[in-house]
Amino acid sequence: MSSAATPSESAQPAPVPSGGIPVDVPRSEAQRGADSAEEREIILRNWVRDHPDFPKPGILFRCMMPMLRNPQAWQEAMRQLGQVCGQLEPDLIVGIESRGFIVGTSLATSLALPFAPVRKPGKLPGRVHGIDYSLEYGTDRLEIPVDGFEASPRVLIVDDLLATGGTAAATAELVTKAGGQLCGFAFVIELADLQGRTKLPAGVPVESLIVYA
């Protein structure tokens, strides 16, 4: 899923000393525990890079690639998402194509939970559940493997970005169609001014590590 936003101030990656550890990424559990939620968000926000006028003029692209290039920053993101899982207790992590695969597999592996991908049509072998959904101009389709939903698992949907919310909302419908029990959504970045939360099912928890107002 593309990370696009409306124009705002650029954020640069935190400085990295010769040892390779960014100076403002927590280095121990004790230090992390002492940080406030706001301080932790600021730390992760330092690892989101802004690309103005991409993929087209007037769009500000929020890119989490610098976070992925620093193991300590990415571990901190997974630690925070792990806390979300501790509250919501999912049985299965579902990631949305394509950056949701990066977030979802990292999270699922760290918590020893199974992972299921949601993909565009024709990308998954075997039997799948599918759903068509509306875009601003036209329609699209998402699919998920049939396997893994036999026991009606509690499902957490994850992605790198919550923007307008259309794809995440369609994924929620797909999870329900497959037989899963939707227990929440988790995102690394949220663009609050696009009001994507309003598209998601009412009453379902939505957690984002970094929120751009």
Token pair listed for 7: 């124009």
State how beta strands 181-191 and 206-212 pair: parallel
Task: Report how far residue 28's alpha carbon sits from residue 30's, in angstroms, rounded to the nearest whole number.
Answer: 5
Count of residues for the chain? 213
Distances in Å between the alpha carbon of 117 and those of 26, 70, 128, 171?
Answer: 31, 25, 11, 10
Question: 9, 38, 136, 150: which one is catalytic?
Answer: 136
Question: 40, 62, 76, 99: which one is catalytic?
Answer: 99
The answer to whether residue 99 is catalytic is yes
Q: What is the DSSP secondary structure assignment for residue 73, as one 8-state letter?
A: H
CA 84 to chain centre: 12
Task: Report how far residue 167's alpha carbon sits from residue 175's, in angstroms, rounded to the nearest whole number.
Answer: 12
Sheet strands side by side (includes 206-212): 115-118, 92-96, 154-162, 181-191, 206-212
Residues taking part in catalysis: 99, 136
